[in-house]
Homo-oligomer: A and B are copies of this chain.
Amino acid sequence: MSDFDDETRLLPIGEPSGGRQSFTGHVHPGWNIGANPNGGYLMALAVAGLRQAAPGHPDPLSVTVHYLRPGLAGQPCRVDVQVLRTGRALSTARATLSQEGGPRLEVLAALGVLSTESEPTLALPAPAMPPPEHCVPRSADEQGVALPILDRLDIRLHPDEARAGSTGMAQVTGWIRFHDGRAPDAVASVLFADAFPPAVFGLLGVVGWVPTVELTVHLRRKPAPGWMLGRFETHDLIDGRLVEDGTLWDADGHLVAQSRQLALLRQGARKS
């Protein structure tokens, strides 16, 4: 069992009824950014509940999360799933992850079956990138915030982009994999879509905190084993709110996922 599988395991509470099913789990501190659980990890916990409640449709195809309150590391959690529709090709469901009786995140998703073999009609090509051994590990202490999650995830940034404010562009590109050798899959892709430094760091340097309001990940294909490559860009920043687009490719260069998030730009010291 990998850390990720072990630490996203949910146990059902009672029997499903009327499309509703509830689960209990534990928010492990190993995925923290500072004192808070990483948002992609919490999203993966909610997706674990969605997958169990949608038999025959194991793969998230479109997952939207809204973050309501920070998660509590080292505490139990509850995931309440309601299946809204089950069709031949797709199931649609929502999930609420709660801790200490209050909702922490709300998820709305479509699930189905992803292929590994199909050739795309259209796909975004992977950017040129030095191999992982020529890239720079993401710093475990970034802008004064400790990143325990880097004991779980091996993240190597493009050498030209690894220093905040170094490029003048709101762009970050890097390799990512699990440290323990677990192969990537669709649920891991959801986590990987929220595991890189904010792209806006490349433009603005040290900026404080960039909390995500909403993140949508579209899963497009099951990844091949090995490293995945991610690129994240912001082209739209106004009134302290930014849109960040992400793309993930697998080790064979196939497009695996696209993501987009709305985040807040909090200038000044990060509260963590």
Interface residues of A (CB under 8 A from B): 61-62, 64, 66, 68-69, 84-85, 89-90, 92, 94, 103, 106, 108, 110, 114-115, 118-124, 170, 203, 213-214, 216, 218, 220-221, 234-239, 241-243, 255, 258, 260, 262, 264
Contact A66 B103 (CB under 8 A): no
The answer for the CA separation of A220 and B237 in the assembled complex, in Å, is: 9
Most buried by B among A103, A118, A121, A264: A121
Contact flag A94-B106 (CB < 8 Å), given A61-B241, A221-B238:
yes
- Return the contact of A238 from the options B92, B123, B260 (Cβ within 8 A): B123
Contact flag A238-B118 (CB < 8 Å), given A62-B262, A213-B90, A218-B243:
yes
Known: A120-B236, A122-B170, A218-B243. 8 other contacts (CB 8 A): A62-B66, A64-B214, A68-B92, A110-B213, A122-B235, A123-B235, A216-B260, A243-B258
Contact flag A68-B84 (CB < 8 Å), given A62-B213, A220-B243, A262-B110:
yes
The binding surface of chain A is classed by DSSP as: strand
- State how many angstroms separate the Cβ of A181 from the closest Cβ of chain B: 28
- Return the contact of A214 from the options B110, B213, B241, B264 (Cβ within 8 A): B110
Task: Report B-chain residues with C-beta under 8 Å of the C-beta of A114.
Answer: 239
- State how many angstroms separate the Cβ of A267 from the closest Cβ of chain B: 11
Which A-B residue pairs are the 3 nearest by beta carbons?
Answer: A120-B238, A122-B237, A121-B237
The answer for the CA separation of A260 and B94 in the assembled complex, in Å, is: 19
- Return the contact of A220 from the options B92, B103, B118, B238 (Cβ within 8 A): B238
The answer for the CA separation of A64 and B92 in the assembled complex, in Å, is: 13
- Return the contact of A92 from the options B66, B118, B123, B236 (Cβ within 8 A): B66
Most buried by B among A85, A120, A218, A242: A218
27 contacts between A and B (CB under 8 A): A64-B214, A64-B216, A66-B84, A68-B92, A69-B85, A94-B106, A106-B108, A110-B213, A115-B238, A120-B237, A122-B203, A122-B237, A122-B238, A123-B237, A123-B238, A124-B235, A214-B216, A216-B260, A218-B243, A218-B260, A220-B236, A220-B238, A220-B241, A221-B238, A236-B255, A238-B255, A260-B260
